Structure 1
Amino acid sequence: MRNWNSLYDILSFPIGILYFAMTLLGIGNILTNSAFSVFFTMTNELVILLAEVCIRTGTFLVVNFPLFFMLRLVTRKSGSATGILSAFAGYIAYLTMTMCFAGSSLPSTAFSSILGLSITSARAKSLAGAVHYPLQTGVIGAGIVALIALYNYNRTRKRSDYNLFAFISKDTQCVIGTVILSAAAGFGMAYAWPYAVRTIHTAVEFISSDTTNPVNLMIYGVLDRFSSLLNIGAMIRTPFWYGSNGGTWLNMVGSSVAGDVNIWTAQAAIGGLTGMSGRFITPYYVLNIFA
């Protein structure tokens, strides 16, 4: 029971932040998203600016949810500013390594502009020609860095004052060790994570092979919920919500509309919703459909 209480204490704070972020996204999107123009159109400049603030703030909080989880975990277990700072530094090193060494052949949903990190360089062939972003490994990556930070923190607390590196303070050594090990973890993840991405892609292709099959939709629902818990839900949702995996539909002028969200929006705009649209977004509250 004590372990469950500890887990709840760790998760309750970042989940509360996530709930607040989704509320901001819902408010911002309902005021500015063109999909709601069938109901009303917002023209007030001040309201539009405030809505954009809500969207940008909410997006930042959602994208960086793993960071809040990691910091909360380290804070709960170490109770020290040293542990928190070393975890943050290690997380930056981890993200940077995945950004530099992850293959560019992966789908765009495998990457995310976490903390605004991006890189492009003409001097390195693998980084030239496009902007590269860190891999979105969600809570998994953040959890790995948190464990590394806690390991280094506990190890340095037990360090003897009589050793070769005694001139380096325990706090500094904790940060250095966390950065080095986190960078190594990021390097390994850059080569291991693509296998997980390919597995998810295979599942997406299987589901999209027959979207009228209830079993396929059930598999989608299970994968969507599981990936959402790990904060990597975009890899499951995006192909169905905005890509051809979610189906296609020809509008009145003969243009093809792809993606469940786009089809639902286009049909709602002309007042002709069909039972085939909205299958992949039905479980979501309407304010957060486009969040």
Structure 2
Amino acid sequence: MIGILYGSFNMQGDGVTVTDTNVYSSPPNRIQADKLAESDGALVVKQQYDSKTFTVEGYLRADTLAGLETLMDTFKAAMAVKNQAFDIDYAGGVRRYLASAQNVIVAKSSNTTAGFSVEFLSPDGVGWDVDGSPLLSASTLTTSNVLTSINVGGTYQAEPLVTVTVNSLTGGTDKTITISNGTTLRGLSVTRTWTAGDVLEIDSLKKSVFVNDIPAEFSGQFPRWSIGDGSVSYLDDFSTRDVTIEASYTRRWL
């Protein structure tokens, strides 16, 4: 029996049993295709995944009618809590979805058993690993323009936390550090007076940029990476530098 939790509520124990779910389905993929000029067919110019709904079905069972009705109330109270982690055993680990129960149906089939069907809404539509993973191990850079190879796991794009630590430098007044996707060139830049010990943090998932734990001005777009092989681009215009770059992310799954 696979383990399933909704928040802290166990959906596979204490009288609750799940018999079926389609949580494994991918979210709807909205594709925009523009017609080709003076030609047949069209060109896909954009795709975007929507939120998704999934259903969990099963039954509630108790020894007495009173016990069943108490369990039904407990079940409905647990389902009424919104924005909970829906955790399900998967591939030797746990796959996590942010979810809210938007339609709960409970029907008695006897004095000790009731069937249930719950429709959940997952706003981002993807599953997450419970724990983060390294994307780029700490690497020391001494040249101004470096491409470092990475490999993105999961089945959905990575939006990592990239950290750059300035160990030493010369010529750091009014200079720029740029971090970008080496394939798409999408990235952002931070211009300031840099000194040894400065730590730049770019969080593409949370859409935040900090220098020394203080929000920093930036230009450009938050970089993200498609699954599979790719590269992280580091660029600066210092005279000399010794910096350490590393990145981590949470694998996500369609």
TM-score bracket, shorter-length normalisation? under 0.3
Counting strand residues as a fraction of each chain, which structure ranks higher?
2
Higher relative contact order (CA 8 A, sep 6+): 2
> Scaled by the length of structure 1, what TM-score is found?
0.24
Counting helix residues as a fraction of each chain, which structure ranks higher?
1
Q: Which structure has the bigger radius of gyration?
A: 2
